[in-house]
Amino acid sequence: MEIVYERCCGLAVHQRTVVACLLVPGPAGAPSREIQTCGTMTRDLLALSDWLAAAGCTHMAMEATGVFWKPIYNLLEGNFALVVVNAQHSKAVPGRKTDVRDAEWIADLLRHGLLRASFIPSSPTGPNASCAN
């Protein structure tokens, strides 16, 4: 299968934890996987961002689980190309019962360009925001 993004990450997002699976090119063409679990506080997410940036990650994907994805998206959107996907579109394979497997599956789908991004409206506080009453 064609590789669309060589350095990408899949996130399994929950209320108190985020499991990240980073895929980078490995020896003999097989991807090298690195797994990291972090908290959802700002300092934890910034450390996650630093780790991914140091590894050369360019794209990230996560499922839109409740509202838990929003702070992650807001903190990371300027540093990576982010894809938020509908959980119904990425959970088509049975048997993934752990956060690590979820993160790996999302990373694999992203790597091959098989995820469809959800629409995320632009921030109303950006430089082009209007002051309509």
Q: Considering the domain boundaries, does residue 116 fall inside one?
A: no
- Number of folded domains that form the chain: 1
Domain for residue 85, yes or no?
Answer: yes
Kindly report the CA angle at 104 between 99 and 107, in degrees rounded to 5?
Answer: 125
For the segment 14-27, what is each residue's pLDDT rounded down to a tens digit?
999 999 999 999 88
Q: Which of 7-11, 75-79, 129-133 shows the lowest per-residue confidence on average (mean pLDDT)?
A: 129-133
Q: Is position 125 within any domain? A: no
Question: CATH no. for residue 29?
Answer: 3.30.420.10
Are 61 and 8 a contacting pair, CB within 8 Å? yes
pLDDT of residue 116: 87
Report the distance separating Cα 46 and Cα 29, nearest Å.
30
Question: What pTM, to 2 d.p., does this model score?
Answer: 0.85
**Could you tell me the residue range of the domain that residue 69 belongs to?**
8-111
- pLDDT of 59-97, one tens digit each? 999 988 789 999 999 999 989 999 999 876 666 556 657
pLDDT at 58 over 90: yes
